[in-house]
Amino acid sequence: MRVLPFRLPLPLPLAFALCVVPARARADNHVRVKGTTRIDAHAARSAGRLVVSGTVFDDTARPVPGARVLITFTRAASTVPLLGASADACSESGARPVLERADALTLPTDDAARFCVRLTLPVDRYVARLESRAPGLYDDARVELAVDLALAPLTLRFDPERAVLSLDDDKTPLEVIASTEDDGVTAAAVSIPLTLSNETGAVMGTAMTNASGRARFAVDSARLGPPGRGELRVTFAGSADSGPSSHAVQVERRTRVDLTAPEAHEERLPPGVPEEGVKVLVLGVARCASHGCAGQPTGTIEARVGDAIVGAASLEGGEAHVVATFSSPAVADVPLRLRYVPDAPWLQPGGDLVVTLPVKPAAPWKRVPLALAAIAAVAWLVLARLPQRGAPVARPGKRPHVAPEAGVQLVREAPAGHGWAGRLHDAHEGSPISGGRVAVERPGFERVAVMAQALTDAAGSFVLPHVEALPGDVLVAEGALHAALRRPLPPAGELDVALVLRRRAVIDRLVAWARRRGRPFDAKPEPTPGHVRRAGGTDLAVARWADAVERAAFGGAPVDARAQADIERLEPEDRPESADPPPQDPRARRVPPGPR
């Protein structure tokens, strides 16, 4: 069994317990998460025709290439036929709209997800309804645009369009530009009253445009809303000269989280024995709370001694009860660094909190169980390596023993027309995986079709019905805490399927990444997250990923599919590295490699 590189100076009984206690298994639902889209659209007039244009964005404010937009018009609660609307693209190089049905047009988008259509409609009031149809795993978005062809169309936009707002400032300045566009001529909309609101409809302020068409808002940050994703919307109700208009942008409201240790007096904790575990109460407070924002921060508090994580706990109700456990050093005072690790991008660390822990020596009689546990662990390791009676003796020239790994083995082939049955178990411990998912999937152009699937019982057993197999079919197996395995579909019969824990998978992936990158990331006998972090120097992406791997592999919390996916998204780009370590001086510059 390959032993994972363990950097934490844990007491031996605890480390021994971590090795032999089986992972907790639970039922797993296979969930496919979709992204969201939004449509930014506005109307204008050109040569007596209506022009509707805009862009399709995803939930990260990036364009969605390949999206299409379905547009319909209603007038007096009735749909408007578009057969005679002479709809065409706004430019000669633009893709022409397609008449989906008598009252609906499909508008293609370009590589930047922009669309534009010109129509000829009678002068009247309309409501344009636009619906996005994005490829891949995106939900559709819908938006309504009020149009009055007897009035000048008004366009609103934020300048700049800020995707991130800080709640830690007293005031948040926002600026909006209002303009009209008629026959290709854009003019500032002067003395236009505008209203600013958020996604709940709560009004945050009103302002009037000046001679340049600009309106300025100074919003109390607490009125923007709680930390998280939201919306800013500016609205014009309409006038005798200009039609009603509104414009919305998706924003992310962020705040920093500051840590305090209320039991520390002048940054010194009460004395404690590290081997027995030192309990530290840590409070996490959102910095925007001083301005009146709602909500309490969530995430994890880590305790570190040097580079080693010696304890961690989740923030619940703004409190975390961290137990720091490590070997007593030779010094009397140990600096304990408390670090906030957010679980959402809108929560930002406000900085580490460093407190001093006065170390008390452990009572001598308490060292007896440690010594006995050490003797038992050594005896267990020795006995595990002794050859068993009757076991085959290794002969020269045979392959050496390799570490267990995930895989599928066909134990016994079944006659034609039968399905698959077998057992799902842990590759290292051999214990059955209860509630695991085993499925036959068939990849397609737009989606993956599940042809058959089953959940394992308490013994890890499963049965899949017969499926007419096609080239490309895949057998998929995963558990709540075991990484997904995908293999070409084997012949029908009895299968033995082994999976590895997700916490092992993330550390194996880091090791493989370091091996590919070579020096300075690779190390003997095996690179650890701490080594990769130090080798990365000032590369924050590498440090962030290595820290996440270290927390998952050694932090003690269960690592499920979501946690594994979050860690894999942090993995830096796999690019070749030179043999020299990265420069520590940020002013130093690499000489770019020559042509290959």
Q: Which residue has the tokens 């895949």?
A: 474
Return the axis-axis angle of helices 561-569 and 502-517, rounded to nearest 10°. Answer: 20
For every one of its 596 residues, what pLDDT tens digit does the chain have, with 9 covering 90 and above?
333 333 434 443 444 443 444 444 444 444 445 667 888 888 877 777 888 888 888 877 788 888 899 999 998 778 888 888 888 888 877 788 888 888 899 999 888 888 999 888 888 888 889 998 887 777 788 888 888 888 878 889 999 888 899 999 889 999 999 998 777 788 898 999 999 998 888 899 999 999 999 999 999 988 898 898 888 999 998 888 888 888 888 889 999 999 999 999 989 999 988 888 889 999 999 999 888 888 788 889 999 988 888 888 888 888 999 988 888 777 788 999 999 999 888 899 999 999 999 988 766 555 555 556 556 655 655 555 555 444 444 444 444 444 578 899 999 888 877 889 999 999 988 899 988 999 999 887 767 888 888 889 888 999 998 888 888 899 999 998 999 999 999 999 999 999 999 988 988 899 999 989 888 888 887 888 888 888 888 787 888 888 888 888 887 778 888 888 888 888 888 765 444 444 444 444 343 444 43
Residue that terminates a domain, selected from 291, 325, 358: 358
Query: Which pLDDT value is given to residue 391?
Result: 42
Cβ-count burial 548-562 (b if 16+ within 10 Å, e if not): bbbbbbbbbebbebe
Residue that terminates a domain, selected from 255, 283, 308: 255
Contact 71, 105 (CB under 8 A): yes
Asked whether residue 205 falls in the same domain as residue 285, the answer is no
Tell me the pLDDT tens digit for each residue of 354-408: 999 998 876 655 555 555 655 665 565 555 555 544 444 444 444 444 457 889 9
> CA-CA distance, 473 to 464, in Å (whole number)?
14
> CA-CA distance, 4 to 553, in Å (whole number)?
9
Which residues fall within 8 angstroms of residue 446, CB to CB, at 6 or more apart? 135, 136
Task: For residue 26, tell me if it sits in a domain.
Answer: no
Task: For residue 364, tell me if it sits in a domain.
Answer: no
DSSP 339-397: EEEESSTTEEE---EEEEEEBPPPPGGGHHHHHHHHHHHHHHHHHHHSPPTTPPPP-TT
Query: Which pLDDT value is given to residue 387?
Result: 52
Q: Is the pTM of this model over 0.75?
A: no
Domain containing 280 equals 261-358
Query: Which pLDDT value is given to residue 254?
Result: 92
Instruction: Measure the N-to-C terminal CA separation of the chain; round to a whole number of Å.
Output: 41
Asked whether residue 40 falls in the same domain as residue 101, the answer is yes
Task: For residue 391, tell me if it sits in a domain.
Answer: no
- Relative to beta strand 333-342, strand 407-413 is unpaired
Task: For residue 19, tell me if it sits in a domain.
Answer: no
Write the CATH number for 339.
2.60.40
Asked whether residue 167 falls in the same domain as residue 144, the answer is no
Write the CATH number for 492.
2.60.40.1120
Task: For residue 238, tell me if it sits in a domain.
Answer: yes
Q: What are the backbone angles phi and psi of residue 9, rounded to the nearest 5°?
A: -80, 65
Asked whether residue 453 falls in the same domain as residue 520, the answer is no
Asked whether residue 477 falls in the same domain as residue 508, the answer is no
Residue that terminates a domain, selected from 117, 150, 183: 150
Q: How far is CA 526 from CA 7, 503, 529, 530, 534, in A?
A: 12, 16, 10, 11, 15
Asked whether residue 491 falls in the same domain as residue 509, the answer is no
Which residues fall within 8 angstroms of residue 363, CB to CB, at 6 or more apart? none
Write the CATH number for 97.
2.60.40.10
Task: For residue 285, tell me if it sits in a domain.
Answer: yes
HEC string of 549-596 equals: HHHHHHCCCCCCHHHHHHHHHCCCCCCCCCCCCCCCCCCCCCCCCCCC
> CA-CA distance, 463 to 459, in Å (whole number)?
12
Asked whether residue 278 falls in the same domain as residue 292, the answer is yes
Count of domains forming the chain: 5
Asked whether residue 42 falls in the same domain as residue 134, the answer is yes
Tell me the pLDDT tens digit for each residue of 458-484: 889 999 988 888 888 999 999 989 999
Query: Which pLDDT value is given to residue 380?
Result: 53
Asked whether residue 39 falls in the same domain as residue 144, the answer is yes
Using only C-alpha atoms, what is the Rg of the chain?
A: 31
Contact 107, 68 (CB under 8 A): yes
> CA-CA distance, 439 to 454, in Å (whole number)?
6
Asked whether residue 83 falls in the same domain as residue 108, the answer is yes
Contact 333, 356 (CB under 8 A): yes
Query: Which pLDDT value is given to residue 425?
Result: 93
Task: For residue 448, tell me if it sits in a domain.
Answer: yes
Asked whether residue 199 falls in the same domain as residue 270, the answer is no
Task: For residue 27, tell me if it sits in a domain.
Answer: no
Which residues fall within 8 angstroms of residue 467, CB to CB, at 6 or more apart? 419, 440, 451, 452, 473
